[in-house]
Chains A and B, each alone.
Chain A
Amino acid sequence: MRHARLALTVNGEKAETLFAPYKTLLEVLREDLNLTGTKHGCELGECGACAVLVDGEPQLACLVLALECEGRSIETVEGMAESWKSGAELHPLQAAFADLGAAQCGYCTPGILLTAKALLAHEPHPSRERIREAISGNLCRCTGYQQIIDAIEEGAARMSK
């Protein structure tokens, strides 16, 4: 099989990679770009664990063909802190998640963080109901969601300070 070439922006930096053309964005991120912070729970678009931002909008990386991402800008959990300030400190959402128990096992966390970041870009102060709707495609088996919703509210408050 001939490898495909892809040029895109990942976490603000230009990246180029050669990869097997059948691969999804999830596989290219994890296997070819060594960004294993993006997780997978089904690879069928059912759990939300692999959500990343494609040109700022949350997408399930397991349902996106990498070939479709030529020239696009991808943000993964690894880039979140730097997207806020220098990277020396956490993004307020990350800090709130860590402080308030929103990450238990932490496996669904990257997908929810990015989904929440996209929500707050559109709605800086969403209601709890809006937060529930926004993350309803992200399954979490540990927390019962309550501390995640708390942390998104808290992250929103810290971002506007």
Chain B
Amino acid sequence: MKVIGKPRRRVDGRAKVVGETRFADDVVLPRMLHMKLLRSPHPHALIEAINTEKAKAHPGVHLVLTGQDFPVTFGILPITQDEYPLAPQHVRYVGDPVAAVIARDEQTATEALDLIEVRYRPLDTISTPEEALAKAEPRIHAYSEQGNIHRLQAFQFGDADAAIAGADHVFEDLFFYEGNTHLPIEQHACVAAIDPDGKLTLWSSTQVPHYVHRSLARVLQMPASRIRVIATPNGGGFGGKCDVCNHEMVAAKAAVVLGRPVKICLNREEVFYLHRGRHPVLMKFRTGVTKDGKLAGMHLQTLVDGGGYGSYGVASTFYTGALQTVTYELPKYKFEAARVFTNKPPCGPKRGHGTPQPRFGQEIQLDKIAEKLGRDPADLRLGMLAKPNSLTANWLKIGSIGLEQCLKTVVERSDWRNRFRKLGAGHGLGLACGSYLCGAGLPIYWNKMPQSGVQLLLDRSGQATVFCGATEIGQGSDDVLTAIVAEVLGIDPLDIRCVTGDTGITPVDLGSYSSRVTVMMGNAAIDAAEKVKKQIAEAAAEELEVAPDRLVFANGHVSFDARSLTFPEAVVLAEEKFGTLGSVGSYKPPRSPGRYKGAGVGPSPAYSYTACVVEAEVDQATGWIHIPKIWIAHDIGRTINPVLARGQVEGSVYMGLSEALMEEQVFRRLPPKLSRALVHKMPSLLEYKSITSLDMPEVDTVLIEDPDPNCPFGAKEVGQGPLLPVMPAVANAIYDAVGVRIDELPITPDKVLRGLELKAAGKPARIGPEHFPKVPYPEPLVVPPPWEGGDGKEIKKNDAAAVV
């Protein structure tokens, strides 16, 4: 291969270092107006009246919009269309938008916000999952399943309870993973404008222009054909720009009403309240283990704090259990989950979407299991790895698994065998693994169309232009697209023009989420490039008098031995023979074998695998944690550009370490004289702690290549999976260092100190949740695993006895 696997400057690298990458807030149009949103100061209230007269009369104000202007709801999932662009009646968290001012500049719009009079009737606040379970009223959403329980899910893949009861050892552990947020350095921004021909265009910092396009058509009640959404390169996404946002809908409406461009850029505090980040999750793992260290069965219960709206929450909740089966052999599995509504900013998808929380629990529990069984944690894992080309208990189809090599690599490079449990007081090593999707198998809204489309245009100059709806969020999606086309056509990636993320001119791609882009867009790109390559080969073959399939496309030439054409010469011949050249390619993932209700979350064309070792030094006087080094090996299938792949791994390690040690999206009550509202504890980049260059350890990164046949050139994802093992590896390293189990995130010095005090007092040295509340989980859906003769469908409860 000439391009794939070679370290290269990314195709958009130059633009990024000269300041020419045009982010949403860099879009400036003539006659552009500016918008600000008025947000609810109450966590839970009904709007009794809004008076906008004074704001409308304020000099420089062009338009004021309220909930009355938006009768139609939206939401990212078809089953939770529960948000209004501006709340007409009911506000559900501090920060819920209720009105918008569009004015000549931001200053004027901000002044006019103060002139809007809103009369609220405050309602009792539901601030925690425990409260949501206990109090059905006041109800945050009428559509929730029971009271303030948004959604309940329960599955049983084989009789896990019996397997656990009959196991040699049973481990029961509670874990808590605090919520945290994406914190992209770019604040969300968008510009809406009316084209010369009267159509609406929205430039937005979004990871999902296709879904924004659909939502705008719904909310504005306009034909989608008259709306164009352009995803500007995102200044960091991490899942934070995966939702369709209020400000996008409102700016678009304002542009339609005024016929002028309208811009909004959220301030940092607003970004914290927009959120859609990591759900806080309380977990209970009951795991049965055989004496030789195999998993006999697992029962996982999760309680998920959703915040004020649905967002991706139903999917996030499924993901707190769906991928527990793809890393280690698990013959029987029971999973129960509940998502509750609370009066806080909505939670949604953040890097790893719903899976870092149970991964944290499972990998710490495995560390405890290894210790109890007297086994090395690496050996215990090596003895239970899932098998390649297998089906899991919940009917997920696994392809290639490079985890054994990942594990052996980090064990060797960290000198694990000579250092684990041997580093002395205050110094330790911890190990963990993880696995992740390479794209969600099903689209968010049900359809049978491709999930990614690519179009190629070639002309007699030899120029190739590739079009795809995929969205560049910094991860290198444009580079992957260009590299794949370049590899197939044998040309230089920098000679290709790349047009992406524009619903007006690029084929549909569902967006940059669920680590789907490399696999789905990549396969569509190969499909398109191979089609046009076939035409070029046919034409070139005639000229060179050789069979088309013997031609080699490489280094800008189409050749057979010494007979050779330049690529532009070959394109000219093809254009003569076939007319104007172009091709389209598309990709739809293989159908998953799971057929039960709920089987839609978890399937993927392939799964990536990661293993990680963390070294920790803990000051036993202060509890201060220092991480000197991290070793990580990621099964990427095949590396497309090692420079970018390494960056994704290290960026994941960074984000995982930051979540492990300090990040938390937490809330506090204002004092009674200030309304007792539930507000973000620290909505600023200074006080919301994240790791800086001074805290970040050196990372030893190894890419393991175990190509998966479902993936383009075998390439799997690398953007999310490497985050997963980091948090539990930190917890396990701290245990090795000081003998204190911290079963909740973040792991802060005060928790370490409390653990050390417990240890000194001869008590169990564990910090973490103490009880799991009673959750009214329904009877589980009974689905026999493949090895129990199931066919991937649930068996009706009445039939269960007969079949089993």
Q: How far is the CA of A77 from the CA of B475 in the complex (A)?
A: 22
Chain A hits for B652, CB < 8 A: 144
CB neighbours (8 Å) of A127 from chain B are: none
The residue from A101, A109, A146 contacting B10, defined by CB atoms under 8 A apart: A101
Complex Cα–Cα for A145 and B658 (A): 13
With A107-B236, A144-B651, A145-B654 in contact, do A44 and B685 touch (Cβ < 8 Å)?
A: yes
Q: Within the complex, which residue of B475, B685, B694 is in contact with A42, where a contact is CB–CB below 8 Å?
A: B685
Minimum CB–CB distance from A72 to chain B (whole Å) comes to 20
B265 nearest in chain A by CB position? A40
Task: Decide if A61 is an interface residue (CB 8 Å cutoff).
Answer: no
A37 x B693 contact (CB < 8 A)? no
**Contact present for B696 and A145 (CB under 8 Å):** yes
Q: Quick check: is A76 within 8 A (CB to CB) of the other chain?
A: yes
Output the least CB separation between B219 and chain A (Å).
28
Instruction: Return chain B residues, CB-CB under 8 Å to A94.
Output: 17-18
Chain A hits for B403, CB < 8 A: none
Query: How many angstroms from the CA of A78 to the CA of B686 in the assembled complex?
Result: 28
**Chain A 104-142 residues near chain B, CB threshold 8 A:** 104-110, 113, 131-133, 135-142
- Please judge, given known A-B contacts A101-B10, A101-B643, A105-B235, whether A37 and B18 are in contact too, CB under 8 Å: yes
Tell me if B132 is interfacial: C-beta within 8 Å of chain A: no
For residue A53, which residues in chain B have a CB less than 8 angstroms away from its CB?
none
Q: Which of A138, A140, A142, A143 has the most CB of B within 10 A?
A: A142
Most buried by B among A107, A109, A133, A135: A107
Asked if A36 CB lies within 8 Å of chain B CBs, one says yes
Cα-based distance from A104 to B481 in the complex (angstroms): 16
**Does A144 contact B650, Cβ atoms closer than 8 Å?**
yes
- The answer to the question of B186 belonging to the interface, with a C-beta cut-off of 8 Å to chain A, is yes
Question: B233 contacts which chain A residues (CB < 8 A)?
Answer: 105-106
Residue of B with least CB distance to A34: B28
Q: Are A80 and B18 in touch, CB under 8 angstroms? A: yes
Looking at the complex, which one of A20, A100, A139 makes contact with B643 (CB distance below 8 Å)?
A100
* Majority SS at the chain B contact face: loop
Query: How far does the Cβ of A52 sit from chain B's closest Cβ, in whole Å?
Result: 11
* Alpha-carbon distance between A51 and B235 when the two chains are bound, in angstroms: 16
Is the C-beta of B476 less than 8 angstroms from some C-beta in chain A? yes
CB distance from A48 to the nearest CB of B (A): 9
Known: A41-B186, A106-B235, A136-B694. A142 touches B647 (CB 8 A): yes
* B234 adjacent to chain A (CB < 8 Å): yes
Per-residue 0/1 for B296-311: is the Cβ within 8 Å of any A Cβ (1 yes, 0 no)? 0000000000000000
Nearest CB in chain B to that of A144: its residue? B654
Complex alpha-carbon distance, A90 and B18, angstroms: 8
Q: How far is the CB of B498 from chain A (nearest CB, A)?
A: 15
Contact across chains for B236 and A37 when beta carbons are under 8 A apart: no
Interface-facing stretch out of B19-27, B44-52, B483-491, B744-752? B19-27
The one of A78, A99, A132, A147 in contact with B647, judged by C-beta atoms closer than 8 angstroms, is: A147
Q: Looking at the complex, which one of A42, A103, A131, A141 makes contact with B16 (CB distance below 8 Å)?
A: A103
Q: Nearest Cβ distance between residue A126 and chain B, in whole angstroms? A: 13
| A113 and B17 form a contact (CB under 8 A) | yes
Is the Cβ of B696 less than 8 Å from the Cβ of A42? no
Q: With the chains together, A101 CA to B644 CA distance in Å?
A: 6
In the assembled complex, the CB of A21 is this many whole angstroms from the nearest CB of chain B, namely: 12
Query: B494 to nearest A CB, angstroms?
Result: 12
Please pick, from A76, A98, A137, A147, the residue contacting B9 in the complex, using a CB distance under 8 A.
A98
Tell whether, in the assembled complex, residue A41 and residue B268 are in contact, meaning their CB atoms are under 8 Å apart.
yes
Tell whether, in the assembled complex, residue B647 and residue A101 are in contact, meaning their CB atoms are under 8 Å apart: yes
Kindly identify which residue among B14, B19, B476 contacts A104, using a CB–CB cutoff of 8 Å: B476
Task: Name the interface residues of B347-381: CB closer than 8 Å to any CB of A.
Answer: none
User: A156 to B685, alpha carbons, bound, how many Å?
Assistant: 30
When chains A and B are docked, how far (Å) is the Cα of A104 from the Cα of B473? 8
Within 8 A of A (CB), among B241-288: 267-268
**Chain A residues within an 8 Å CB radius of B655:** 141, 144
B462 part of interface (Cβ distance < 8 Å): no
Most chain-B CB neighbours within 10 Å: which of A35, A38, A110?
A: A110
The complex places the Cα of A105 from the Cα of B10 at a distance, in Å, of: 11
Are B694 and A141 closer than 8 Å at their CB atoms?
Answer: no
Could you say which of A106, A107, A143 contacts B650, with CB atoms under 8 Å apart? A143
A90, B17: Cβ atoms under 8 Å? Answer: yes
- Determine the distance from Cα of A11 to Cα of B235 in the docked complex, in whole angstroms: 24
B665 interface contact, C-beta 8 A = no
Knowing A34-B28, A103-B13, A105-B473 are in contact, say whether A77-B693 is a contact too (CB < 8 A).
no
Contacts of B25 on A, CB cut-off 8 Å? 36, 40
Interface residues of A in 79-102 (CB under 8 A from B): 80-81, 90, 94-95, 97-101
Determine if A78 and B646 form an interchain contact, defined as CB atoms under 8 angstroms apart. Answer: no
Chain A hits for B474, CB < 8 A: 104-107, 142
What mask results when residues 45 to 85 of chain A are scored 1 for a CB within 8 Å of chain B, else 0?
01101000000000000000000000000001110110000
Are A132's CB and B644's CB within 8 A? no
List of B residues within 8 angstroms of A132 by Cβ: 693-694, 696
Find out whether the CB atom of A107 lies under 8 angstroms from the CB atom of B643. no
Bound CA span A44–B185, Å: 13
0/1 string, B224-235, CB within 8 A of A gives 1? 000000000111
Could you say which of A46, A78, A101 contacts B685, with CB atoms under 8 Å apart? A46
Residue B699 CB within 8 A of the other chain: yes
B residues apposed to A, CB below 8 Å: 9-10, 12-23, 25-26, 28, 107, 182-187, 233-238, 267-268, 473-476, 643-644, 646-647, 650-655, 684-686, 690, 692-694, 696, 698-699
Given A41-B185, A95-B17, A105-B185, 18 further pairs, Cβ under 8 A: A39-B185, A40-B25, A40-B187, A49-B185, A78-B19, A90-B17, A98-B9, A98-B13, A99-B643, A103-B13, A106-B15, A131-B693, A132-B696, A139-B692, A140-B185, A141-B238, A142-B474, A144-B650
Give 13 A-B contacts (CB < 8 Å), ordered by A residue: A36-B22, A39-B235, A76-B19, A77-B17, A81-B18, A94-B18, A98-B16, A105-B236, A106-B474, A140-B693, A141-B236, A144-B651, A148-B693
The 8 tightest CB contacts between A and B, nearest first, are A37-B19, A105-B474, A106-B16, A107-B235, A144-B654, A98-B13, A77-B19, A144-B650
Binding site for B on A (CB under 8 A): 20, 22, 30-31, 34-44, 46-47, 49, 76-78, 80-81, 90, 94-95, 97-101, 103-110, 113, 131-133, 135-149
